[in-house]
């Protein structure tokens, strides 16, 4: 038996040596086929892991409710369009849903931020101190906003690193006052954040967020200074938008509470269903969907490899 096996190997080697070009092309074909499958699997795995990382960065125990602009026919021709989340709804959610451990209200407005001749077309964000923890923003200079700043409606602000570098290229920004021309307000800089990578769009209304052009102020200060209605020029006419809150990020006590709490939140905000001016994003559900998609992709590629 051993001699027969040895003879078979010898005949095989001899056949390969008799046709070197054909043997080389065969080996090359096998190599390309196997390498292609490995590369495709590696690329797919990398994309899947990055997608899961982006979703996980939103927080597995978080539930995000975000204001979206409804269709024009839902708004009508009113000069001031009123839609989205309300402060009363924020209070109602934290008072009636026991699974919620923390809630972060957020309001966002596009604003031109300036210091002397330097200007940045940025995003003004009004929130509470919990916002920095929820979005994993870390301080680089100075300090973050605190509860006293919010309650006392202080004219303090924290700048993103890129905004601080553009407004103060050769100066220490701490203690300086930046200017918002639209509202003619000054805000004292108390902190500068470390750079943070942008988040990718996660489907639905949750578009990618770029934190590099942000300026953060206390929410109560924003409401007092900016008012409820924001005016903008569209098609040659001025039109107002009254949006009390752009987003509420809610955190529950346990992973097991996420799905039941998200259903309670949707039921509590069902008044918005007809208008379609809010959307609820549950990162845990998206994460499970991403894992299922990854498994299906791996099975499919495995079948191709086989």
**What pLDDT, on the 0 to 100 scale, is given for residue 252?**
87
**What pLDDT, on the 0 to 100 scale, is given for residue 204?**
47
**What pLDDT, on the 0 to 100 scale, is given for residue 237?**
62
**What pLDDT, on the 0 to 100 scale, is given for residue 236?**
56
Band (pLDDT 50/70/90 cuts) for residue 205 is very low
- Alpha helices of the chain — where are they, by DSSP H? 2-18, 20-56, 72-75, 87-96, 130-134, 147-151, 161-167, 219-226, 258-268, 283-305
Contact 147, 285 (CB under 8 A): no
Percent of residues, the chain, with pLDDT higher than 70? 80
CA distances from 295 to 22, 203, 292 (A): 38, 20, 5
State the pairing for strand pair 278-281/62-67.
antiparallel
**What pLDDT, on the 0 to 100 scale, is given for residue 142?**
93
**What pLDDT, on the 0 to 100 scale, is given for residue 193?**
94
More confident: 18 or 153: 153
**What pLDDT, on the 0 to 100 scale, is given for residue 291?**
66
- The two structure tokens encoding residue 122: 């940025």
Q: What residues form DSSP beta bridges with 217?
A: 126
Model pLDDT for residues 257-291, shown as the tens digit of each residue: 888 888 999 999 998 888 888 888 887 766 666 66
Q: DSSP character for 117?
A: T
Is the full-model pTM beyond 0.85?
A: no
Quick one: which H or E segment has residue 281?
strand 278-281
Which candidate, 79, 149, 126, places its Cα nearest to that of 227?
Answer: 126
3-state secondary structure 160-191: CHHHHHHHCCCCCCCCCEEEECCCCEEEEEEE
Band (pLDDT 50/70/90 cuts) for residue 36 is confident
Model pLDDT for residues 48-94, shown as the tens digit of each residue: 666 666 655 556 788 889 988 887 766 666 677 788 899 999 999 99
Residue 99 has pLDDT above 50, yes or no: yes
**What pLDDT, on the 0 to 100 scale, is given for residue 164?**
94
Residue 145 has pLDDT above 90, yes or no: yes
For the ranges 11-15, 75-79, 120-124, 233-237, which has the lowest average pLDDT?
A: 233-237
What mean pLDDT is reported for the chain?
81
Instruction: Report CA torsion sign: 168, 174, 176, 182.
Output: positive
Residue 201 has pLDDT above 60, yes or no: no
């Amino acid at each position: 038996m051993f001699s027969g096996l040895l003879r078979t190997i010898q005949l095989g080697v001899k056949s390969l040596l008799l046709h070197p070009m054909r043997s080389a092309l065969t080996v090359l074909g096998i190599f390309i086929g196997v390498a292609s499958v490995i590369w495709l699997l590696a690329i797919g795995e990398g994309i899947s892991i990055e997608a899961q990382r982006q979703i996980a960065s939103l927080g597995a125990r978080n539930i995000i409710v975000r204001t979206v602009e409804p269709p024009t026919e839902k708004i009508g021709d009113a000069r001031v369009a009123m839609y989205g989340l309300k402060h009363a709804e924020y209070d109602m959610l934290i008072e009636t849903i026991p699974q919620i451990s923390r809630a972060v209200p957020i309001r966002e407005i596009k604003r031109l931020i300036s210091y002397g001749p330097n200007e940045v077309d940025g995003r003004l964000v009004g929130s509470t101190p919990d916002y920095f923890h929820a979005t994993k923003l870390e301080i680089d200079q100075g300090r973050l906003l605190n509860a006293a700043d919010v309650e006392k409606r202080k004219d303090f602000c924290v700048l993103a690193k890129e905004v601080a570098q553009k407004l103060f290229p050769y100066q220490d920004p701490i203690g300086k006052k930046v200017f918002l021309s639209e509202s003619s307000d000054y805000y004292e800089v108390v902190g500068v954040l470390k750079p943070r990578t942008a988040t990718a769009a996660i489907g639905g209304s949750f578009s990618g967020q770029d934190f590099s052009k942000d300026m953060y102020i206390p929410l109560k200060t924003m409401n007092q200074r900016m008012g409820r209605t924001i005016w903008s020029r569209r098609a040659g006419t001025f039109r107002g938008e009254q949006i009390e809150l752009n987003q509420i990020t809610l955190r529950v006590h346990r992973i097991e509470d996420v799905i039941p709490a998200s259903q309670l939140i949707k039921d509590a905000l069902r008044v918005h269903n007809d208008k379609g001016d809010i959307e609820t994003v549950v990162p845990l559900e998206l994460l499970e969907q991403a894992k299922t998609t990854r498994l299906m992709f791996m099975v499919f590629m495995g079948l191709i490899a086989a």
